[in-house]
Amino acid sequence: MQPETLIRNSANWQDMRNSFRWPQPEFYNIAEQIVERWARAEPDRLALSYLDLDGGLREYSYLQLSRDSSRLANTLAAHGLRRGDRCAVLLPQTPETILSHLACYKLGAIAVPLFTLFGEDGLRYRLQNAGVSAVITDGANLHKIVNIRDDLTTLETVYSIDRAESGAKGFWQELDLASDSIECARTGPDDPAFISYTSGTTGPPKGALHAHRVLLGHLPGVESHHNFLPQKGDRLWTPADWAWMGGLTNVMMPALNYGVPLVAHRMAKFDPEHAFWLMENLQIRNVFLPPTALKLMRQAVVKPVNLRSVGSGGEALGAELLDWGREKFGTTINEFYGQTECNLVLGNSHTVFAPRDGSTGKAVPGSEVAILDSEGNQLPVGETGEIAIKRGAPQMFLGYWQQPEKTAEKFSGDWLRTGDEGICDKDGYFHFSARQDDVITSSGYRIGPSEIEDCLASHSDVAMAGVIGVPDPVRTEIVKAFVVVAPGKATEALKVELIKRVRSRISPHVAPREIEFIDALPMTATGKIMRRALKKQN
> Do the domain assignments include residue 276?
no
Window from 65-69, 104-108, 212-216, 457-461 with minimum mean pLDDT: 457-461
Mean pLDDT of 107-120: 96
Domain's final residue, options 135, 160, 187: 187
DSSP string, 133-181: SEEEE-HHHHHHHHHHGGG-TT--EEEESS--BTTBEEHHHHHTTS-S-
Average pLDDT of the segment spanning 52-73: 96
Tell me: pLDDT of 451 over 90: no
Percentages (nearest 5) of helix, strand, coil residues in the chain: 30, 25, 40
Mean pLDDT of 273-279: 96
**Contact yes or no for 103/69 (Cβ under 8 A):** yes
Specify whether the CB–CB gap between 399 and 405 falls below 8 A: no
Closest CA to 377 of 427, 414, 405: 414
**How far apart are the C-alpha atoms of 328 and 346, rounded to whole Å?**
25
- pTM of the complete model beyond 0.85: yes
Return mean pLDDT, the chain: 93
C-alpha–C-alpha distance, residues 359 and 347, integer Å: 9
pLDDT band at 405 (very low <50, low <70, confident <90, very high): very high
Kindly give, in sequence order, each residue whose CB lies less than 8 Å from that of residue 408, ignoring residues fewer than 6 positions away: none
Asked if residue 224 is part of any domain, the answer here is no
For the chain, give the percent of residues with pLDDT over 70.
98
pLDDT at 535: 86
Domain final residue pick, 187, 213, 242: 187
Q: pLDDT grade, residue 447 (50/70/90)?
A: confident
- Dump pLDDT digits (tens) for 230-248: 999 999 999 999 999 999 9
pLDDT computed for residue 72 by the predictor:
98
Q: What is the pLDDT of residue 525?
A: 54
Cα–Cα distance list, 245 to 5, 152, 240, 395 (Å): 21, 25, 9, 11
| Domain range for 91 | 29-38+61-187
Examine residue 530 and state whether it is found in any structural domain, yes or no: yes
Residue 434 lies in a domain: no
Q: List CB contacts of 126: < 8 A, sequence separation 6 or more.
A: 88, 112, 114, 118, 197, 205, 207
pLDDT of amino acid 319: 82
Q: Which of the four pLDDT bands, split at 50, 70 and 90, describes residue 445?
A: confident
**What per-residue string of b and e applies to 4-22 under the rule 16 or more CB within 10 Å gives b?**
eebbeeeeebeebbeeeeb
Domain of 457, CATH number, reads: 3.30.300.30
CATH number assigned to the domain comprising residue 173? 3.40.50.980
Helix (H) or strand (E) holding 477: strand 476-485
Closest by CA to 250, choosing from 356, 363, 340, 136, is 340
- The model's pLDDT over 175-189, given as tens digits with 9 standing for 90+, comes to 999 999 999 999 999
User: CA-CA-CA-CA torsion for 111, 84, 4, 93, nearest 10 degrees?
Assistant: 10
Give pLDDT, residue 432. 83
- Strand intervals (E) in 326-384: 333-339, 342-347, 362-363, 369-372
pLDDT of 351 strictly over 90: yes
**Whole-angstrom distance between the N-terminal and C-terminal Cα of the chain?**
58
* Alpha-carbon separation of residue 475 from 97, 157, 440, 470, 471 (angstroms): 27, 38, 11, 10, 8
Domain boundary (153, 187, 221) is at 187
Count of domains forming the chain: 2
What radius of gyration, in Å, describes the C-alpha atoms of the chain? 23
Query: Three-state DSSP class for 53?
Result: coil
**Which DSSP symbol is given to 8?**
-
Whether 127 is in a domain gets the answer yes
Q: Judge whether 309 lies within some domain.
A: no
Across the strands, what pairs with 465? 483
DSSP bridge pairs for 431: 423
Question: Is 500 inside a domain boundary?
Answer: yes
% pLDDT > 90, the chain? 80
SS3 at position 284: coil
Range 298-312 average pLDDT: 94
DSSP tally for the chain: helices H, then strands E: 18, 27
Residue 96 maps to a domain: yes
Nearest-angstrom CA–CA distance, 52 and 94? 8
- Mean pLDDT computed over 108-130: 97
pLDDT tier, 513 (very low <50, low <70, confident <90, very high otherwise):
very high
